[in-house]
């Protein structure tokens, strides 16, 4: 059958393909695709067919297995460092694991490292962390104290800094939660302070820190007190009065 294309139209189509990046023919001889289809149709059903299966990785389950295998805090830190399924790890400078005395009666759970924390590799070391230290000192607590009764232990929901200090995403919280649960199990504090919205979201499945703060609840099987994050107090100094009331509640609970 004679082609419906004239010479000029064929040349225009060829120029268009060249502009798209086609610079060579796939083969020297034309392939009859209808004949190929007929051959496939004739293939017996019993003939072996090679199929490549792609399995979805359950990052939460991988984290759970890895955390369960840790028998001490050092092993847990190594397990987190080896966890490759959280994209935050690729953009962070440091793994921010914890600070303070692991034997402390009080564990403070924050949300995620910021710029200063990422640089130093310790939680709560920037302006918010300095305010936190002053707040704790006001009720006789110190992260550097050797005595468990007056010490605190500090960690975060996420060990890596989110880009531009954005809020952690639900998937990131979910995959790191098994490590948080194991961390608290190994540290075995008497009380937990849930510092800010993200900590409450991870531990309680709730948000709305201004509504939750100041009311004792239970998280990870421990008495827990939600408090406003020091970063919020820096932005809203008028909220420090309520934060002071929460600190007094914490002090009273410690006896």
Q: What is the pLDDT of residues 198-247, one digit of tens each?
A: 999 999 999 999 999 999 999 999 999 999 999 999 999 999 999 999 99
Average pLDDT over every residue of 183-197: 98
Please report the pLDDT score of residue 10 as a whole number: 73
In the chain, how many H helices and how many E strands? Answer: 12, 6
CA distance 235 to 224: 24
- Pick the residue with more confidence: 40 or 132? 132
Q: At 48, is the pLDDT very low, low, confident or very high (cuts 50, 70, 90)?
A: low
Q: Above 80 in pLDDT, residue 253?
A: yes
Average pLDDT over every residue of 177-202: 98
- Superfamily of domain 59-254 in CATH is Uracil-DNA glycosylase-like domain (3.40.470.10)
Query: What would the two tokens of residue 11 be?
Result: 């040349």
Q: At 38, is the pLDDT very low, low, confident or very high (cuts 50, 70, 90)?
A: low
CA distance 172 to 86: 7
Are 123 and 99 contacting, i.e. CB atoms less than 8 angstroms apart?
A: yes
Please report the pLDDT score of residue 9 as a whole number: 74
Are 193 and 212 contacting, i.e. CB atoms less than 8 angstroms apart?
A: no
Partnered with residue 142 across adjacent β-strands are 151
Distance of CA 83 to the CA centre of its chain: 11
- What is the per-residue burial (b if ≥16 Cβ within 10 Å, else e) of 193-205? bbbbbbbbbbbbe
CA distance 102 to 77: 13
Please report the pLDDT score of residue 147 as a whole number: 93
Please report the pLDDT score of residue 105 as a whole number: 97
Q: Above 60 in pLDDT, residue 131?
A: yes
Please report the pLDDT score of residue 1 as a whole number: 47
CA distance 16 to 186: 66
Poorest-confidence range of 27-41, 79-93, 140-154, 195-209?
27-41
The sign of the CA dihedral 80, 86, 92, 97 is: negative
């Amino acid at each position: 059958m004679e082609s419906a294309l004239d010479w000029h139209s064929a040349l225009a189509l060829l120029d268009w393909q060249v502009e798209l990046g086609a610079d060579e023919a796939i083969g020297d001889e034309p392939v009859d695709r209808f004949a190929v289809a007929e051959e496939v149709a004739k293939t017996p059903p019993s003939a072996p067919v090679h199929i490549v299966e792609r399995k979805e990785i359950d990052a939460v389950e991988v984290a759970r297995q890895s955390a369960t295998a840790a028998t001490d805090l050092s092993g847990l830190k190594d397990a987190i460092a080896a966890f490759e399924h959280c994209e935050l790890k690729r953009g962070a400078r440091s793994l921010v694991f914890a600070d303070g005395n692991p034997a402390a009666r009080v564990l403070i759970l924050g949300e995620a490292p910021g710029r200063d924390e990422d640089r130093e590799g310790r939680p709560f070391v920037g302006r918010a962390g300095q305010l936190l230290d002053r707040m704790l000192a006001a009720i006789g607590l110190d992260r550097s104290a050797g005595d468990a009764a007056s010490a605190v232990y500090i960690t975060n929901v996420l060990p890596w800094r989110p880009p531009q200090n954005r809020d952690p995403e639900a998937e990131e919280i979910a995959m790191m939660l098994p490590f948080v649960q194991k961390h608290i199990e190994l540290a075995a504090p008497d009380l937990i302070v849930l510092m800010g919205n993200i900590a409450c979201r991870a531990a309680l499945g709730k948000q709305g820190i201004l509504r939750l703060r100041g009311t004792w609840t239970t998280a990870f099987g421990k008495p827990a007190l939600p408090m406003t994050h020091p970063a919020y107090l820096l932005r809203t100094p008028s909220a420090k009065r309520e934060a002071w009331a929460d600190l007094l509640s914490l002090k009273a609970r410690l006896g």
